[in-house]
Amino acid sequence: MTRRFERFATTGPKAEAALTTYLRDRRRQMGGDTLTPDSTVEELLTDWLAHADDGSRRPQTIGDYRSAVEGHISKGIGSVRIREATVGTLDRYLRGIEGDGIRKRVRTVLMLAFAYAARLDLVEVNPVRDTSTVRARSNGVEVPTIEDVHRYRAAIEEWCGGNRMGPRRGAGLLEVVDVVLGTGLRPGEVLALRLVDVDLEGARLTVAGTVVGNQRQPTPKTRKGHRTVKLPAFVVDALGRRLDDPVVELTGLVFPSGTGTVRSRANLDRQLREARPADLEHITLRALRRLAATTVDHALGVEAASRQLGHSGTAVTERHYIDRPDVGPEVADVLGTLAPRIGVVTG
């Protein structure tokens, strides 16, 4: 269908420019029901988030998106209009964010949101694409010593049940530490364990879910996360102690909360911080996973460590979890030919 449009101005070129601008903005407005180029970035993000949860993304992914929007983007450039969000504006905003991890997450969210805006014809090109990429700076993988881990575990054990009033605090906390240390499981995977996932006689357990917030998700974080792992004796003992708890039998969860619901990661981390000595702040559950991964790598190789941790490939395992110095090629014999000759006289 052909339509006629007119715009007027004091001169012909100005009228032509006004008509061109109107046609451009009109075409962009046709893409969405409520958004226009004059809508704010915050309005764009709200609309995009409403469509982002289409079932193809995991709940924790959507949660990470919302966290980036509410914690950073809305406060930073939420009031900027879509048409004002140029490459330069977005790049200056991103450069002002402290922390490579947060900056990378915010850039990812903006990239997806403005890709959505491009599909609605609100922008001609995605302006985030030409902003500076965030290059991770690696200072190596820090793995705690076994001595520090043993001191950390002893402090957790002493803290549990050490309160004088109220219910015994820290139920299952020491056992969570033992399971992470002896299996390399993610904390969310440990909290999601059910009675049916544990086989003490066979000394193994199956990872069949994870905890996001205070909800148990019936699938692990990754496809390779669904796995069965063998258990060392001290982990079998730890799980055996948990299975003696009547609340476990009642709920079917190995590590339920004090009220019999799914135990949240936030509550778990809070208790561990309270129980941890000040000089062992570098010991976290992720640090225990690194120690487990490094131990497996040294004995059985990186492929075994990656499978144990439930990674989709060895790249993440090598980059973030294994403390392994690079080893040069076997060149000793080759370089040996350069050895100085004894008794050679010059001149």
CA distance 76 to 91: 12
pLDDT tens track for 141-174:
789 999 999 999 999 999 998 777 777 888 999 9
From the number of C-beta atoms within 10 Å of its C-beta (0-12, 13-18, 19+), residue 231 rates as buried
- Three state DSSP letters for 240-303: HHHHCCHHHHHHCECCECCCCCECCHHHHHHHHHHHCCHHHCCCCHHHHHHHHHHHHHHHHCHH
Q: Helix (H, G, I), strand (E, B), or coil: what is residue 159?
A: helix
Nearest to 58 by CA among 198, 207, 212, 230: 212
Which residues have CB under 8 Å from 122's CB, separation 6+?
28, 31, 32, 35, 36, 37, 39, 44, 82
Residue count (the chain): 347
The residues spanned by each domain of the chain are 31-130, 146-320
Mean pLDDT of the chain: 87
pLDDT less than 70: residues of the chain:
1, 3, 24-33, 55-56, 135-140, 325-328, 343-347
Provide the CATH number for the domain formed by 31-130 in this structure: 1.10.150.130
pLDDT at res. 137: 57
**Fold (CATH) for 146-320:** hpI Integrase; Chain A (1.10.443)
- Three state DSSP letters for 308-341: HHCCCCHHHHHHHCCCCCCCCCCCHHHHHCCCCC
pLDDT at res. 199: 95
Q: Judge contact between 144 and 282, C-beta under 8 A.
A: yes
pLDDT at res. 63: 83
Report how far apart, in Å, the C-alpha atoms of 212 and of each of 1, 63, 140, 154, 190 are.
Answer: 51, 9, 29, 28, 12
> Does residue 17 come out as left (phi exceeding 0), alpha (psi in the -120 to 50 range) or beta?
alpha
Helical packing angle, 100-119 and 87-95, nearest 10°? 160
Cα radius of gyration (the chain): 28
pLDDT at res. 31: 47
From the number of C-beta atoms within 10 Å of its C-beta (0-12, 13-18, 19+), residue 58 rates as middle
Nearest to 109 by CA among 56, 39, 75, 62: 62
Q: Which residues pair with 253 in a beta bridge?
A: 194
195 DSSP assignment: G
